[in-house]
Homo-oligomer: A and B are copies of this chain.
Amino acid sequence: MFEFHLEGTTGPARAGTLTLPHGQVRTPAFMPVGTHAVVRGLSANDVRRTGAQIILGNTYHLHLRPGENVVQSMGGLHRFTTWDRPMLTDSGGFQVFSLERLRRIEEHGVEFQSHIDGTLRMLTPERATEIQWHLGADIAMAFDHVVPGQSSFELACEGMERTLRWLDRCKARHAELVGQRASGNAGRSQLHDDAAFPLPGFPAFPQTLWPIIQGGIHDELRIRSLEGTLERGPWTGIAIGGLSVGEAKPVMHHVVELLASRLPENVPRYLMGVGFPPDLLEGISRGIDLFDCVAATRNGRHGTAWLPTGRLNVRGSALKDSMAPLDPECDCETCTTYPRGYLRHLFVVEDILGLRLVSIHNIRFLVRLGEQARAHILNGTFDGWSREWLGRYYAGGN
């Protein structure tokens, strides 16, 4: 369980298979974001049909609504959402440090005001780990101290070092929870039985914990973060956080290259919050295996579709009476069913079906990009294909 098997490489680009309690993930792969235990606007069936192998949930949002106790009492995130494939939960670090109502940061943890009802709440490494344990995803993330994108060396160093100290606490709490389950009578086969609810505190399936590398845009800090993280291992996966937060693309690429070349081969690498189409290919070509980003659904809701030739505004009047599919090369439900003219009409009359259909396409577009990259990596044709793909996308003027 939680093994990662590397199946092929083309330069730094990698194709592998990650085995998780709810299934396998063929990498490289894009993970759609389901912040509130729902990939915005889409049913679990919609998401399954995009070919997505794993989706995200978010500790911060799910702690506030509906609360981890509700999710746990309903059998965990999988049964709550009816999503039966792998899931990962983010730790809430990124969210609480982005809050306007962040109140106090201490070594102990972070005090913040709920954006829902203004109540004061506390997240600590232990709490974040416990909440994720109750949510019951396949992968939990360590609680990290996130600093703004262009932070000074001093500030980035403080966040990075605290993230390492917090990692110790997350790891210890997670090990305790795993130990409690192992000594309990809540074995997996019993818990998987639909008739029997999991015991309180025991997720039905095993869960692993992944650390997050911080350090901003400072090479020295990134390497210290990496080394400190590896010293605290072994890990079944490692994430790179604090990127795609306003820094220039070449800076992001540099940090990814710096880390990927030093990361162990047999561990999947997850680049957090990255997932516009070209970013996916740029990341894959530098050795990243997993991505997540809300852009697919956010763009979908705003009527922006991703095509191999760049972005398309679905509201555009040129689409008015077009019988063409949104993307003639795409095999998603939207592109194989609806003409462009109808999709535009849905946005004009403001029917929510439009948001859903373009979101479905955008997610499928990224999922398929991962599938294509994987096939080309295994065939040894990744570099040429990737260069051509990016050239065509950028030539669209986007």
Contact = CB atoms under 8 A, between A and B. Distances in A.
A384 to B, nearest CB: 37
Contacts of A18: none
A345 B82 contact: no
Given A80-B341, A337-B82, A355 B357 contact: no
A152 B168 CA distance: 81
B43 A357 contact: yes
B74 A323 contact: yes
A66 B41 CA distance: 24
Number of copies of this kind of chain in the complex: 2
A394 to B, nearest CB: 32
B42 A353 contact: yes
A331 to B, nearest CB: 16
B80 A346 contact: no
A351 interface: yes
A261 interface: no
A75 B38 CA distance: 36
Given A80-B339, A341-B74, A341-B80, A320 B351 contact: no
Given A43-B357, A74-B321, A320-B66, A80 B351 contact: no
Contact of A349 (B38, B337, B346, B348): B38
Interface residues of A, number: 40
Given A75-B323, A337-B82, A66 B345 contact: yes
Contacts of A333: 45
Given A82-B338, A321-B73, A352-B356, A345 B65 contact: yes
Interface of A: 36-38, 40-45, 61, 65-66, 70, 73-75, 79-82, 320-321, 323, 333, 337-339, 341-342, 344-346, 348-349, 351-353, 355-357
Given A40-B351, A73-B321, A75-B323, 6 more contacts: A36-B349, A37-B342, A41-B353, A43-B357, A61-B349, A352-B355
